[in-house]
Structures are given as structure tokens and as C-alpha cells.
């Protein structure tokens, strides 16, 4: 069982995108064009990925290379969110990789996920995506707090705090809010929503028990990956590696 690729899918996608754009326009969210562009990019990117995945999954090295590509794109995306410049991507890559790769290593080492490319790649993608989101959210909250509470930062310096310690004092509590989406999803799984991994296993012909086991592994893995990513993001900002415009440190 699965989604049938054909005219019905195309109509559904067009209607959904048009409706989302209409809502954004009606309520003056200022992202109407972004909704359409993001959706069009998703169509093109998923079509391209679908075509090349067969070749990628045939080789372990190609799969590893594709995971590296995902990390690179995630790093650039987070760097743009935090520092408004893609050139800081190498520093945004550190929290993402430090969050996603150890979790991937654990689930492979324990045998919870088979060491087959067809299993490794999607799990890696989920973990990288979650770590990217946590990095972006933690980074943006930390940067915003440093700007709006700069007087408190200066006061901490006057009290003898080092720039790093003053930054961490301000940013750690707000950066922790990056974990709220993952915590809420984990608390309410099965009661409010059935997340993607669960639905994917069911659509692939797996049993509800298998789907639940996979989803549980994904959720707790994401909690660890995102916690590491959020914590390290604040450390990178405190070290001055991700520039915070308008804040002199």
C-alpha cells in the first residue's frame, strides 16, 4: 500500500500548496511567495532524489557520501538562519554532526537498525534533519537574546564573568526551548499524531507493532541528537565562531 503517483497526486499537491499560499496571503504573513517556492523546490528535489537513490543505495560508500551531502546542506541552512551567512556553515556543521552521528552509531552498533543502506540512509536523514532544526532554533533564540538582553550581558561582564560564561548564562535557558517540539512529539505520539516513521512502516507493509518500535527508536534518538545539537550550538556561539551581528563580544 502507498501513495499512487499520478494525476490525483498532482491535483492534491497543487490544491494544498495553493490553499497554504492563500492562507498566508489572506492573513498577511508575508511568506506567500516562500510557500510556493519551497513547495516547488520540494517537488524538484524529491523527484531528483527519488531518481538517484537507487544508485546511491547500491553502494555503502555512495550512501555515506549522500549522508555527508545532507550534513553539508543542513549546515548551510542553519548557518543562514543563525548568522545570515552561508560561510559560517562549517561551524553550524559541528552541532549537527555531533548530534546526529553518535545516535546513528548507537542504533547501528546495538543492531536496532540493520546495517543495510536501505535502513541507514532514512534514519540518518531523520537524525540530521532533527539536529538541523535544533541547531537553527537554539541558535536563533540565543542570538535574539544576546541582542535584546545585551545590557544583562554587559552587567555579567562587569561582575567578572568571561564573555563565554556571560553568553552561556543568558543563552542556555532559551536555547533549551529548541527541544520543545521534540519533547511534545514524544509526549503525545500515538495520542495526537502518528509521525512519519510510523506511517512509513505501515505503508511499507509492516505490522503496527513494528511501526511502533521504529517510531519509538526515532523519537528517543531525536531527543538525544537535538539535545546535543542545541547544547553545542550555544557553545559555538559563546566561543564567537558564529558571528552575532550587532553584539560586540
87 and 31 in a common domain? no
Written as one string, the DSSP assignment of 15-53 is HHHHHHHHHHHHTT-S-HHHHHHHHHHHHHHHHHHHHHH
pLDDT digit string, tens, across residues 59-96: 889 999 999 999 999 999 888 888 776 566 678 889 99
What per-residue confidence (pLDDT) applies to 167? 78
Q: Is 249 among the domain residues?
A: no
Domain around 85: 58-238
Average pLDDT over residues 99-107: 94
Number of folded domains in the chain?
A: 2
* Band of pLDDT at residue 1, cut at 50, 70 and 90: very low
118-to-54, 93, 216 alpha-carbon distances in Å: 10, 24, 19
195 and 89 in a common domain? yes
Instruction: Measure the CA–CA gap between 238 and 232, rounded to whole angstroms.
Output: 10
**Whole-structure pTM value:** 0.79
- Looking at 36, 57, 78, the residue that finishes a domain is 57
Cell of 160: 567578572
Cell of 229: 545539537
Q: How far apart are the first and last CA of the chain?
A: 56
160 and 75 in a common domain? yes
pLDDT digit string, tens, across residues 204-234: 777 788 878 888 898 999 999 999 999 999 8
Q: Is 131 among the domain residues?
A: yes
* Rg, Å, the chain Cα set: 20
Q: Is 244 among the domain residues?
A: no
Q: Is 248 among the domain residues?
A: no
Instruction: Measure the CA–CA gap between 6 and 4, rounded to whole angstroms.
Output: 6
* Band of pLDDT at residue 196, cut at 50, 70 and 90: confident
What per-residue confidence (pLDDT) applies to 87? 62
Burial 29-49 (b: 16+ CB within 10 A, else e): eeebeebeeebeeeeeeeeee
48 and 127 in a common domain? no
150 and 86 in a common domain? yes
125 and 67 in a common domain? yes
Instruction: Measure the CA–CA gap between 143 and 175, rounded to whole angstroms.
Output: 10
Phi, psi torsion values for 205, nearest 5 degrees: 100, 5
Query: Which burial class, exposed, middle or buried, applies to 238 when counting CB atoms under 10 A from its CB (0-12, 13-18, 19+)?
Result: buried
Instruction: Measure the CA–CA gap between 107 and 84, rounded to whole angstroms.
Output: 34
What per-residue confidence (pLDDT) applies to 149? 80
Residues 6+ apart with CB under 8 A from 81: 136, 139, 140
Cell of 91: 561551524
Q: Is 106 among the domain residues?
A: yes
Residue 183 or residue 153, greater confidence: 183
Cβ 222 vs Cβ 118: under 8 Å = no
Q: Is 243 among the domain residues?
A: no
Instruction: Measure the CA–CA gap between 181 and 195, rounded to whole angstroms.
Output: 13
pLDDT digit string, tens, across residues 123-144: 999 999 999 999 999 888 888 8
Alpha helices in 85-179 (DSSP H): 89-109, 117-148, 150-158, 163-175
Cβ 66 vs Cβ 74: under 8 Å = no
Amino acid at each position: 500500500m502507498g501513495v499512487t503517483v499520478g494525476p490525483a497526486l498532482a491535483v492534491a499537491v497543487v490544491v494544498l500548496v495553493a490553499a497554504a499560499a492563500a492562507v498566508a496571503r489572506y492573513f498577511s504573513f508575508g511568506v506567500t511567495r516562500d510557500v510556493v517556492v519551497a513547495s516547488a523546490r520540494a517537488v524538484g528535489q524529491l523527484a531528483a532524489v527519488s531518481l538517484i537513490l537507487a544508485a546511491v543505495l547500491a553502494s555503502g560508500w555512495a550512501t555515506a557520501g549522500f549522508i555527508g551531502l545532507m550534513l553539508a546542506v543542513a549546515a548551510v541552512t542553519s548557518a543562514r538562519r543563525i548568522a545570515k551567512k552561508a560561510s559560517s556553515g562549517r561551524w553550524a556543521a559541528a552541532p549537527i554532526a555531533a548530534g546526529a552521528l553518535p545516535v546513528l552509531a548507537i542504533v547501528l552498533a546495538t543492531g536496532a537498525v540493520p546495517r543495510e543502506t536501505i535502513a541507514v540512509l532514512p534514519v540518518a536523514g531523520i537524525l540530521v534533519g532533527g539536529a538541523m532544526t535544533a541547531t537553527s532554533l537554539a541558535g536563533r533564540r540565543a542570538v535574539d537574546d544576546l541582542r535584546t538582553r545585551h545590557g544583562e550581558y554587559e552587567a555579567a561582564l562587569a561582575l567578572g564573568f568571561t564573555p563565554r560564561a556571560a553568553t552561556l548564562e543568558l543563552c542556555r535557558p532559551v536555547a533549551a526551548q529548541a527541544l520543545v517540539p521534540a519533547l511534545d512529539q514524544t509526549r503525545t505520539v500515538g495520542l495526537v499524531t502518528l509521525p512519519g516513521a510510523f506511517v512509513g512502516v505501515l505503508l511499507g507493509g509492516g505490522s503496527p507493532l513494528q511501526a511502533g518500535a521504529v517510531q519509538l527508536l526515532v523519537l528517543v534518538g531525536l531527543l538525544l541528537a537535538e539535545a546535543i545539537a542545541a547544547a553545542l550550538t550555544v557553545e559555538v556561539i559563546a566561543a564567537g565562531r558564529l558571528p552575532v551581528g550587532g553584539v560586540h563580544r
